[in-house]
Structure 1
Amino acid sequence: MKNFALMGAAGYIAPRHLKAIKETNNRLVAAFDPNDSVGIIDSYFPEAHFFTEFERFDRHLEKLRIEENTNSIDYVSICTPNYLHDAHIRFALRNEADAICEKPLVLNPWNAEKLIKLEEQYSNKINTILQLRLHPSIIALKHKIDQAPKDKVYDIDLTYITSRGNWYYASWKSFIEKSGGICSNIGIHFFDMLIWIFGDVKNSTVHVMEHDRASGVLQLQHANIRWFLSINSETLPEKIKQSGQRTFRTITINDEELEFSSGFTDLHTESYQKIIDGKGFTVNESLKSIQLAHQLRHAKVSSLSEDYHPFAKLPLSSHPFN
Structure 2
Amino acid sequence: MKRFALIGAAGFVAERHIKAIKETGNVLVAAMDTFDVMGRMDSYFPEAEFFTSEAELGQFLKQEKEKGEAVDFVSICSPNYLHITHIQLALKNGCHAICEKPLVIHSSDLEKIKQLEAESGKKVYTVLQLRYPPAILELKNEIDAAEKKHFDIELQYITSRGKWYYKSWKGDVEKSGGIAMNIGIHFFDMLSWIFGSVKQNSIKLFEATKAAGQLDLEKARVNWFLSLDCDDLPHEATAAGKRTYRSIKIEGKEIEFSGGFTDLHTVTYQNILSGNGFGVEDARESIGLAEGM
Give the alignment's TM-score, normalised by structure 1. 0.89
How far 1:114 sits from its partner (Å)?
2.0
Amino acid of the structure 2 residue aligned with 1:4: F
Partners in 2 of 1:275 and 1:45 — Cα distance? 21
Aligned with residue 119 of structure 2, among 102, 118, 121: 121
1:171 is aligned to 2:168 = yes
Aligned with residue 240 of structure 2, among 238, 243, 264: 243
Name the counterpart of 2:74: 76
Amino acid of the structure 1 residue aligned with 2:104: V
Partners in 2 of 1:26 and 1:97 — Cα distance? 15
1:210 is aligned to 2:207 = yes
1:1-322 paired onto structure 2 within 5 Å = 1-69=1-69, 72-149=70-147, 152-296=149-293
Amino acid of the structure 1 residue aligned with 2:21: I
Amino acid of the structure 1 residue aligned with 2:100: E
Amino acid of the structure 2 residue aligned with 1:140: E
Partners in 2 of 1:171 and 1:183 — Cα distance? 17
Amino acid of the structure 2 residue aligned with 1:18: I
CA RMSD of aligned residues (A): 1.0
Name the counterpart of 1:315: none
Percent identity between the two aligned chains: 53
Structure 1, residues 55-103: CA drift from partner, whole Å, max 9, x if none? 222111111112213xx20000000000000110111100100000000
SS of the counterpart of 2:258? coil
Corresponding residue pairs, total: 293
Name the counterpart of 1:313: none
How far 1:20 sits from its partner (Å)?
0.4
The worse-fitting range, judged by mean Cα deviation, of 235-244 and 268-277 is 235-244
How far 1:241 sits from its partner (Å)?
2.1
Structure 1, residues 14-50: CA drift from partner, whole Å, max 9, x if none? 1000100000110011100000121111000000000
Instruction: State whether residues 107 and 180 of structure 1, in contact with CA within 8 Å, keep that contact through their aligned partners in structure 2.
Output: yes
Structure 1, residues 194-233: CA drift from partner, whole Å, max 9, x if none? 0000001111100111111110000000000000001110
Amino acid of the structure 2 residue aligned with 1:79: C
Partners in 2 of 1:243 and 1:279 — Cα distance? 38
How far 1:173 sits from its partner (Å)?
0.2
Partners in 2 of 1:116 and 1:26 — Cα distance? 27
Structure 1, residues 139-188: CA drift from partner, whole Å, max 9, x if none? 00000000012x61100000000111111011100000100011011000
Larger Rg: 1
Q: Which residues of structure 2 form unaligned runs of 5+? A: none
Structure 1, residues 236-290: CA drift from partner, whole Å, max 9, x if none? 1133223321111100000111011212221111111111111110110111000
